[in-house]
Amino acid sequence: MTKLLFANIDEPDLNTIDVYRRHGGYEALPKALKMSRDEVQAQLESSELRGRGGAGFSMGKKVSFLPHGAMDKYLVCNADESEPGAFKDRELIQKNPHQLIEGLIIGAYAADVNRSFIYIRGEYQYQADILDAAVKQAEAAGYLGERILGSDHTLSLVVHRGAGAYICGEETALLDSLEGKRGNPRLKPPFPANQGLYQGPTLVNNVETLSNVPHIIRMGAKAWAEHGVQNSTGTKVVSVSGCVRNPGNFEIELGIPTRDLIMGLAGGPREGCTIKFFFPGGSSSPVLTAEEGLDIPYDFDSMAKAGSMLGSGSIIVVDDTVPVVEVAKKVAKFYAHESCGKCSPCREGTNWTVKMLERVDTGEATPMDLDIIASVQDQIIGHCLCVLGDSMAMPIGSLVRKFRAEFEEHIERAREARGMGVTVPEPEPVGIAGADPDVGPY
């Protein structure tokens, strides 16, 4: 299968500028700089490259949304990659940082941006060090800085490390975090393209999205777009993990059967197990059972039609040895832990869901609680400030819907194991419980 992003990925020292250049690196950049900004943007647009960070929005369109004219504009590369199951950006940064930097410089040129940042999650310390070194090399080589390669394009690039918060992957939370604030998402509109970092127009793109840019310029949008299928052009690095024999990142052409990915490249389930369900696009996508999902093509539209989504392109496979309640609890706890707390449906809804699932797990729930869980998910979806709330509600909703029988059985079994009937939690004395005896309850 064609390798673009992953071509020569394990070549020793590909992360250094010399080896990268030996493999044709930094050839797209002078080519782009010879084109006009509009031409580069037209290339991006006609490639139909869709964002690889989750939302799948056309990169070329996003570039075109940035207002023209002299003002402070910014490009921010989203390298926060914190969604459970996603680890593609990590490998791209670690092994081929210059591919990203070259794409970022070209993207900045197209968007007429002079300042750029890579926001990398704090846990990726090794990868951030590699990026820092690569940026220094690129600066020394004149690919970054004033009047790049003699053109009128000027760009600075700062690698900014996060400190552990999934929500900072959401583009507006990322911008707040980069501005030195708590990573809370902002209201949209205004969208970052109009009012982003430091109130200036800002282009936010994922690592993989930007890493594709040199290839589009090098090959020409048309040739590049021949990979993949309609509406899902190009190749995609897919992270496959969980109950498979060969977990890892695989670069595929969009549109291949999901089965080839999971059963073929990733080696299929472990000895003696069968696949129960999988998350096709990271932990925030509604799950698909093996029957539903294995035979649909792995691309944006097909996944959406199947009631799920491609998201960041991360598949988590769950086999039949794993209780569905366990998975649901993990998912819910993750989102409860990562909710920023700004909006009420997400803050309270994720926590409520965790508490209910814990009762389901210990057998202290009734099937009616499953209805409440499902209804709480419906109350979250579409009501939150950003989609983190939905990101829990959609998979949890799908799990409860698709595996209701197992949930009910689980409750039953857990209750029998405890030798108890249904109990409502022991009521806590309100207020008085924590009261300071000297002050009194109020």
Partner 1 sequence: MPRPEPKEITFTIDGLEVKATEGEMLVDAAKHGDVEIPIFCYEPKLGQPVGACRMCLVEVEGIPKLQTGCSTPVKDGMVVHTQTERVHDAQKAVVEFLLVNHPLDCPVCDKGGECPLQDITFGWGAGTSRFIEPKRHFRKPLEISPLIAIDRERCILCYRCVRYSQEIAEDYQLVLHDRGAHSFVGTFDGHPYVAPFSGNIIELCPVGALTSTAYRFRARPWDVETAGSVCTLCAAQCNVSLTVRDDKVSRVMVRDHPEVDDGWLCDKGRFAYQAFHVDERITEPLVREGDELRPASWDRAIATAAAGLARAGRHTAALVGGQATNEDGFLLQRFLREGLEAHDLDSRLGAQLPVELHRALAAPALQASVPDLEFAHAVLVLETELMDDAAILDLRIRKGIRRHNLKLAVASSRPSALDPAAEQVERFAPGGVGRFLYELASGDHALSDWLRDAGQDVVIVWGERMGGAPGGANALRALLNVAGNLNLGEHEGAGLLAIPAVTNGRGLREAGVLPNAGPGLKAPVADGRGAPEIAAALADGDLRALYLLGADPLVSYPGRGAWAKALDRATTVVAHAGVLTQGIREHADVVFPSEVYAEKNGTVVHPDGRVQRVRQAIAHVGNVRPEWQVIADVARAAGFDLGVLTSAMATKQLFAAVPFYAGLTAEGLAGHGVRWPAGDGAAKAPEGDLGPFTLEAPAPEPAPTHGQLRLGSWRSLWAAPEVRISPSLQFLHPGSSVELAPDDARRLGIEDGVPVEVAQNGTSLRGRATLRSAVPAGSVFVSDETAILTGALVEVRRA
Partner 2 sequence: MARVQRYPDGSRVPPWDRAVDLNKEPAPVPEPAVTPVPEDLRRTIEAYMSKYPDRRSAVIPSIAAAQRHYGWCSPEALDQVAAVMRLTPAYVESIATFYDMFETEPKPAHDVYVCTNISCSLLGADELFEHFIETLGDEGDFNIRAFECMGACDIGPMASVDGVYVGPLELDDVAAIANDVRDGRPVLSRKQLAHRAAADPGAAVPVPDPDTMAAGPPMPPERGRGEATSPEDEP
**Per residue, what are the HEC states of 176-195?**
HHHCCCCCCCCCCCCCCCCC
Please say which residue, 221 or 328, places its beta carbon nearer to partner 1. Answer: 328
DSSP string, 332-356: HHHHHHH--S-SHHHHHHHHHHHHH
Minimum distance between the CB of residue 211 and ligand FMN, rounded to whole angstroms? 10
Q: What does the block give as tokens for 120?
A: 């990398």
Is 206 a binder of partner 2 (CB under 8 A)? no
> Within positions 262 to 281, which residues make up the interface with partner 2, using CB under 8 A?
265-267
Q: Which residue is associated with the tokens 């939370």?
A: 173
Is 57 a binder of ligand FMN (CB under 6 A)? yes
Rounded to whole angstroms, the Cα distance separating 410 from 220 reads 55
Rounded to whole angstroms, the Cα distance separating 117 from 80 reads 12
Please say which residue, 140 or 422, places its beta carbon nearer to partner 1. Answer: 422
Bridge-partner residues for 179, per DSSP?
none
> What string marks each residue from 134 to 173 as x (binds ligand FMN by CB under 6 A) or -?
---------------------------------x-xxx--
Stated as kind and residue range, the H or E segment containing 293 is helix 290-293
Please identify which residue in 53, 183, 349, 389 interacts with ligand FMN, judged by CB under 6 A: 53
Rounded to whole angstroms, the Cα distance separating 103 from 31 reads 12
Rounded to whole angstroms, the Cα distance separating 191 from 175 reads 11
Is 204 a binder of ligand FMN (CB under 6 A)? yes
Positive or negative, the Cα torsion across 294, 297, 298, 304? Answer: negative
Please identify which residue in 55, 133, 225, 229 interacts with partner 2, judged by CB under 8 A: 133
129's contact among partner 1, ligand FMN, partner 2, none, with CB below 5 to 8 A by partner kind, is partner 2
CB 146 within 8 A of CB 155: no
> What string marks each residue from 298 to 337 as x (binds partner 2 by CB under 8 A) or -?
------------------x-x---x---xx--xx--x--x
> Within positions 68 to 107, which residues make up the interface with ligand FMN, using CB under 6 A?
78, 80-83
> Within positions 267 to 306, which residues make up the interface with ligand FMN, using CB under 6 A?
none
Q: For ligand FMN, how many residues bind (rule: CB under 6 A)?
A: 24
Please say which residue, 263 or 343, places its beta carbon nearer to ligand FMN. Answer: 343
Minimum distance between the CB of residue 36 and partner 2, rounded to whole angstroms? 27
Please identify which residue in 151, 230, 246, 274 interacts with partner 2, judged by CB under 8 A: 246
Give helix 125-140 / helix 97-111 axis angle, nearest 10°.
Answer: 60
> Within positions 352 to 391, which residues make up the interface with partner 2, using CB under 8 A?
364
CA within 13 Å, CB half, 113: 31
Exposed, middle or buried, 397 (CB in 10 Å: 0-12/13-18/19+)? buried
User: Using CB under 6 A, which of the segments 145-153, 232-240, 383-391, 417-425 binds ligand FMN?
Assistant: 383-391
Please say which residue, 36 or 344, places its beta carbon nearer to partner 1. Answer: 344
Rule CB under 6 A: which residues touch ligand FMN? 51-55, 57, 59, 78, 80-83, 167, 169-171, 204-206, 209, 386-388, 391
